[in-house]
Structure 1
Amino acid sequence: MARDLAIDLGTANTLVYARGEGVVLAEPSVIAINERTGEVLALGEEAWQMIGRTPTHVVAKRPLRRGAITDFDVTQRMVRLLMQRVGVSRFNRPKVLICVPSAITAVERRAVTEAARRSGAADAQLIEQPLAAAIGADLPISEPVGNMVVDIGGGTTEVAVLSLGGVVALEAVRT
């Protein structure tokens, strides 16, 4: 049976959480690719160690910049490989919840969900980072009171006021 996954796709690091198991994967958001062949040579920590130490035809890339996907194809490959590492296959297709910055565009939202679906997810949904942070902190977000959340990430810092299950006010700075 497929396990439900949550992915925090960050500019600096990506975390994969499995329901009932906790964080099952934490890796830098870096992928190393041989540009001559298109082959993925390394992912995560191993690719991060390669930054600045590769021949010209091998590039270690960060496919997200300032909280946004800058290379859809590379992001899709990274998501697919991360999901494979935690056991996703065509026979084991989980529901996936992906944490994204509140300020991403509709095009970026579609790109993220499409990357997860093409990577083997049976269903892919998005959740805004401040909302995910508030749920993780067990804040009473469904109550008719304001809760302020500050989410400091590697590419985006967001300050949000949450009430009645949604974002009431938001300021985001891409760093």
Structure 2
Amino acid sequence: MNEPSVVAVERERYGSKAKILAVGKEAKDMVGKTPGNIEAIRPMKDGVIADFDMTEKMIRYFIEKTHRRKSFLRPRIIISVPYGLTQVERKAVRESALSAGAREVFLIEEPMAAAIGASLP
């Protein structure tokens, strides 16, 4: 799955509660084309979690989208992260994915993921 880490949310008029409208590419496509009460949030910026709760919801959405249904299946997932992420930042990404429903989480640095994707030796 190759999706941008963007979540489109609709904010309540008098409150901080947010309703998720779209995730990933669909949310990114909404940027600049929506009313003022709808905003695009980037819960992960440069591989670092800026909003833990929204990151967890985004990952949960991706897991459910991949499996086409809500189930009790707890998948093993791989997340690519920027090169040079600190151990604390790596742990936050891993914990967010585990909280979203992953059984195991493997982190791979983006340059390595790109090399594997390009079938480099």
Q: TM-score range by the shorter chain?
A: 0.7 to 0.9
Larger Rg: 1
Instruction: Work out whether residues 81 and 107 of structure 2, in 8 Å CA contact, stay in contact via their aligned partners in 1.
Output: yes
Which residue in 1 is equivalent to 2:66? Answer: 86
Percent identity of equivalent pairs: 46
Name the residue aligned to 1:33: 9
Is 2:29 aligned against 1:49?
yes
Give the unaligned 5+ runs of structure 2: none
CA-to-partner distance for each residue in 1:51-87, whole Å, 9 max, x for gaps?
A: 1233333211122323433222222111111111111
Residue segments in structure 1 that go unaligned for 5+ positions in a row: 1-15, 17-25, 141-175
* Conserved? CA contact 1:34–1:57, under 8 Å: yes
* Structure 1 vs Structure 2 CA RMSD: 2.1
Q: Which one has the bigger strand percentage?
A: 1
Normalising by structure 2, what TM-score? Answer: 0.79
- Given the two structures, how large is their TM-score scaled by the length of structure 1? 0.58
Q: CA deviation at 1:132?
A: 2.2
Q: Secondary structure at the match of 1:110?
A: helix
Which has the larger helix fraction? 2
Matching residue of 1:155 = none
Which among 128, 133, 143 is matched to residue 114 of structure 2? Answer: 133
